[in-house]
Amino acid sequence: MSERPKDFPGDPQLSALYREHVRDEPSAAIDERILAAARAAVSAPATAARRGWWQRWRTTLALATTLTLTLTLALLHERLPVDSHREAEVASPRPVAPGVALPSVPRDVAAPAAPLVVTGDAVAGAGAAAAGVTPRSQAREERPAGQRVAQPAGESGQRPADGDTPHRGGSPASARQEAAPASAPAGVKEGNALPAGAAAAPAAASPEQQGAVVGQPPAARQQAKAVAESRADDGRSADDWLEEIRALRREGRHAEAAKRLADFRRAHPDYPLPEEFRQ
Amino acid sequence: MQTDWSDERLMLAYRAGDADAFTLLYHRHRAPLYRYLVRQCGSAAEADELHQDVWLKVIHARGQYEPLARFPTWLFRIARHRLIDHYRQHARNLLAHCEPAAGADADECEEWIERLPAPSEEMPHVLHERHDTARRISLALAELPPLQREVFLLAEEGRLTLDEIAAATGCGRETTKSRLRYALGKLRKSLQDLL
């Protein structure tokens, strides 16, 4: 209680009489209602705070989860294209017309004896390994041409180990050659070492991939071989090509030489042929 | 112990979330506030409603409470505002009488007594229960002009000082003092045989 000032016009007698006889009070029900409201008012913020925690952190947690998922998917996606391309190519090699004319094949790239099948990437990897390039970068170089083909193991095993310089495949010229009709089937068999991409390191192919390619029909294998061999001409200079034809003529393989010459003319129609090749 | 705490400290504790502090505070002031309301509005039923409303306002305003004045001053100011709202709702013509100019003479309010509801007389059950003395005190209070009665009740029930009453009612200190003196004189005159 505050101290009453001296000039306060109080009347102690009257005040005592008033306090003695006037004792009105609120009912107990009202007291209970008011006290319950007071308790509820101070207990409500606790519940709100519990809800508020989740509401405060909900956005942060959602962002963190989204970021984690995005990062995980991005890391997975970095590896995914190579694997998916491999599977797609093993399952369905690019169709090539039967009996397609195949260009010369480098002989210096030895076809492995042991492996049965190589996939496009495995071939590319092998070629890259021979050239001192990582298989993945090699595969990426080849990817735009869409020329990766599974190589039958038996065929590659019969290729001679000696041959020409390795070549890279996937050029437009080789693509044109894929569609050309076969003029000399023997050419396919003779001197057809695997192209640079298809020559080496089939061990990189997984057993599943090998099994998938082994299961292909012979026609498909033939097509795949033709496409792979067609890459052999890619990147080869016209002089090298003509030198090959000269070598074939010297060896007496005139049919094959004629076929190679025809292929050469298709690939280099404007190249001035030396006198010896003019008929 | 909290029982030794001042009203202001209890209110601050309640603002911080201590419900027991409010309980203690409520029990200290429930009866004086209720009597103030009953005497002012003249009806127990209305006083119940007003009493509850005032305390609910205290509960809801706890976040803004600052101990700038004594707690009873703050509490009775809320009660007075609630009473004015009550008058506005139920007796619009009374509003003008409850808020006269600060310098108005208290004696000019004598005629208002006739217009005011007689608190106790209208409640038969109260008349039967109350003691004769209590009835006479109530009658004497009811006969007081509203402004004088208000000052008397604030001083008696709220234990407010002249300055606090003046601040609560919006009047000057001397006006308040004059009203209180008039109220005490009239009550003494009415209850002289009881003193």
The band of A56, judged by pLDDT with boundaries at 50, 70 and 90, is: confident
Please tell me whether the interface predicted TM-score (ipTM) of this complex is above 0.90: no
Mark yes or no for CB contact B184/A45 under 8 Å: no
User: What's the pLDDT at A142?
Assistant: 46
A137-187: pLDDT as tens digits: 444 444 444 444 444 444 444 444 444 444 444 444 444 444 444 444 444
How long, in residues, is chain A? 279
Q: Using CA coordinates, name the residue in chain B closest to A27.
A: B48
- Work out the mean pLDDT of chain B and round it to a whole number: 81
Q: Which residue in B133, B164, B188 is closest to A11 by CB distance?
A: B188
Q: How far is A15 from chain B (nearest CA, A)?
A: 7
Residue A213 has pLDDT above 60, yes or no: no
Most confident of A69-73, B130-134, B169-173: A69-73
B33-58: pLDDT as tens digits: 999 998 888 888 889 999 999 999 99
Residue A29 has pLDDT above 60, yes or no: yes
Q: Report the predicted TM-score, pTM, of the whole model to 2 decimal places.
A: 0.45
Q: Which residue in A15, A27, A37 is closest to B56 by CB distance?
A: A37
Q: Which has the minimum average pLDDT: A57-61, A207-211, A255-259, B177-181?
A: A207-211
The band of B113, judged by pLDDT with boundaries at 50, 70 and 90, is: low
User: What's the pLDDT at B40?
Assistant: 86
Mark yes or no for CB contact B134/A14 under 8 Å: no
The band of A37, judged by pLDDT with boundaries at 50, 70 and 90, is: very high
- Best B60, B75, B187 member to test A by mutation, with max A CBs in 10 Å, is B187
Q: What is the DSSP string of chain A?
A: -PPPPTT----HHHHHHHHHH------HHHHHHHHHHHHHHHHHHHHHHHHHHHHHHHHHHHHHHHHHHHHHHHHHHHHHHHHHHHHHHHHSPPP--TTB------SSSPPPSS-S-B-HHHHHHHHHHHHT--HHHHHHHHGGGT----B-HHHHHHS-S--S-------HHHHHHHTSBPS-HHHHHTT-PPPHHHHS-GGGS-HHHHHHHHTS-HHHHHHHHHHHHHGGGTT--HHHHHHHHHHHHHTT-HHHHHHHHHHHHHH-TTS---GGG--
Residue owning tokens 């017309």: A97
Residue B126 CB contacts under 8 Å (≥ 6 apart), including other chains? B44, B120
User: What's the pLDDT at B24?
Assistant: 92
Residue owning tokens 């609120």: A26
- Taking the alpha carbons at both ends of chain A, their separation in whole angstroms is 132
User: What's the pLDDT at B108?
Assistant: 52
User: What's the pLDDT at A182?
Assistant: 42
Residue B185 has pLDDT above 70, yes or no: yes
| B 49-108 residues inside an 8 A Cβ radius of A | 51-52, 55-56, 59-60, 62, 70
Q: What is the DSSP string of B57-111?
A: HHHHTGGG--TTS-HHHHHHHHHHHHHHHHHHHH-HHHHHHHS--TT--GGGGGG
Mark yes or no for CB contact A37/B59 under 8 Å: yes
Q: Which residue in B38, B48, B62 is closest to A30 by CB distance?
A: B48
Q: Which residue in A24, A31, A35 is closest to B38 by CB distance?
A: A24
Domain map (residue ranges) of chain B:
2-194
Residue A151, φ and ψ in degrees, nearest 5: -110, 125
Q: Using CA coordinates, name the residue in chain A closest to B190.
A: A14
**Residue A45: its chain B contacts at CB < 8 A?**
17
Q: What is the mean pLDDT of residues A116-137?
A: 43
Query: Rounded to an integer, what distance in angstroms lies between the CA atom of residue A234 and that of residue A147?
Result: 12
**% of chain A residues with pLDDT over 70:** 38
Mark yes or no for CB contact B35/A38 under 8 Å: no
Query: Rounded to an integer, what distance in angstroms lies between the CA atom of residue A64 and that of residue B76?
Result: 54
Q: How far is B29 from chain A (nearest CA, A)?
A: 10
Compute and round to an integer the Cα radius of gyration of chain B.
Answer: 17
**Residue B106: its chain A contacts at CB < 8 A?**
none
Three-state SS for B195?
coil
Q: Which has the minimum average pLDDT: A77-91, B8-22, B46-60?
A: A77-91
Q: Which amino acid is present at B20?
A: D
Q: How far is B122 from chain A (nearest CA, A)?
A: 16
Query: Rounded to an integer, what distance in angstroms lies between the CA atom of residue A269 and that of residue B176?
Result: 121
